[in-house]
């Protein structure tokens, strides 16, 4: 199975990067499934029904979330009615929506997408490790599903790396989101799981993690109340990870970074 995972979509610049580059990229890579984190898609803060439709129409099959999943009021109802939209599974019981679901990937294959949120320097949700263990107890690679993708939305690379080693050999891809900067540790772990600490963002890198520079710089340098942050509006870079898995085992045979457009150096699977 060929899987493309796109990092956090930040504002209009990130959405434009997706709508401009993803259709051709999906054809070029012959991707069976495209997943993208969309929790910053609405001006950097949450997601709306209209924006989710735009992202899905561009070729994304599943949208994952994070700590900004609920920033838009309509997200509560949207999470209930849109099965292709996930939020972290380790929110307390009774939270709207779902954090894990199985999707069809063509040719009779199925993929489990699991979204959890870390706890270091983040909101203290339920234990993400126990949450993941609970989900993996019900699904096995190469048996009930042909691939499993875990989006760990977390701040600390140590927490992400620990999760990668915990699930090694049991998921196809463990990828971090949230910090908006692509890490250079793309690899296949010893047990066969593809890993990267952070996928980066789909957004304008002439910014402070996707936000217009002026307000965050003022906050850091003056320590005074400032205007509300807004997403940067320059040309966006699409940052993603491409994984090819073995359908029999569900493990990764190949993983490579993808970067198209904007200010970052380009990268494309060979």
Residue 125 lies in a domain: yes
Residue 269 lies in a domain: no
| Residue 270: predicted pLDDT | 86
Give the CATH number, domain containing residue 164.
Answer: 3.60.21.10
| Structural domain boundaries enclosing 66 | 2-260
| Residue 226: predicted pLDDT | 82
pLDDT confidence bin for 207, thresholds 50/70/90 = very high
Residue 266 lies in a domain: no
Strand partners, 63: 36, 85
pLDDT confidence bin for 201, thresholds 50/70/90 = very high
Both tokens of 193, joined, read 């799981």
Residue 255 lies in a domain: yes
Residue 237 lies in a domain: yes
Res 268 pLDDT > 90? yes
Task: Read off the pLDDT of residues 212-258 as tens digits, 9 standing for 90 and up.
Answer: 999 999 999 998 878 899 999 999 999 999 999 999 999 999 999 99
In the 3-class helix/strand/coil scheme, how is 72-123 assigned residue by residue?
CCCHHHHHHHCCCECCCCCCCCCCCCCCEEEEECCCCCEEEEEEEECCCCCC
Q: How far apart are the first and last CA of the chain?
A: 17
Domains of the chain: total: 1
Both tokens of 172, joined, read 């196809």
Mean local confidence (pLDDT), 43-57: 97
Mean local confidence (pLDDT), 71-89: 96
Q: Which is catalytic among the residues 68, 153, 178, 180?
A: 68
| Residue 224: predicted pLDDT | 83
Residue 141 lies in a domain: yes
| Residue 9: predicted pLDDT | 98
Residue 268 lies in a domain: no
Both tokens of 79, joined, read 């999470």
| Residue 227: predicted pLDDT | 86
Under 8 Å between Cβ of 149 and 35: yes
Both tokens of 236, joined, read 């966006």
Q: Is 165 a catalytic residue?
A: no
């Amino acid at each position: 199975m060929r899987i493309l995972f796109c990092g956090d979509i930040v504002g209009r610049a990130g959405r434009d990067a997706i709508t401009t580059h993803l259709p051709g990229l999906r054809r070029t890579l012959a991707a069976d499934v495209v997943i993208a984190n969309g929790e910053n898609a609405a001006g950097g803060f949450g997601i709306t029904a209209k924006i989710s439709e735009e992202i899905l129409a561009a070729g994304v099959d599943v949208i994952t979330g994070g700590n900004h999943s609920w920033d838009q009021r309509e997200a509560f109802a949207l999470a209930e009615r849109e099965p292709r939209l996930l939020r972290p599974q380790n929110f307390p019981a009774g939270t709207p929506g779902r954090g894990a679901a199985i999707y069809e990937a063509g040719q009779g294959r199925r993929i489990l997408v699991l979204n959890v949120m870390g706890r270091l320097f983040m909101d203290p949700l339920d234990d993400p490790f126990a949450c993941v263990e609970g989900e993996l107890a019900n699904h096995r690679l190469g048996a009930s599903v042909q691939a499993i993708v875990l989006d760990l939305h977390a701040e600390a690379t140590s927490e992400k790396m620990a999760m990668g080693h915990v699930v090694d050999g049991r998921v196809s891809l463990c990828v971090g989101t949230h910090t908006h900067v692509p890490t250079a540790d793309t690899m296949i772990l010893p047990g066969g799981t593809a890993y990267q600490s952070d996928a980066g963002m789909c957004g304008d890198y002439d910014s402070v993690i996707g936000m217009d520079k002026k307000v965050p710089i003022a906050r850091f340098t003056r320590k005074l109340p400032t205007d509300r942050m807004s997403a940067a509006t320059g040309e966006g870079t699409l940052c993603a990870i491409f994984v090819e898995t073995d359908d029999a085992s569900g493990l990764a045979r190949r993983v490579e970074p993808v970067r198209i457009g904007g200010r970052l150096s380009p990268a494309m699977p060979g």
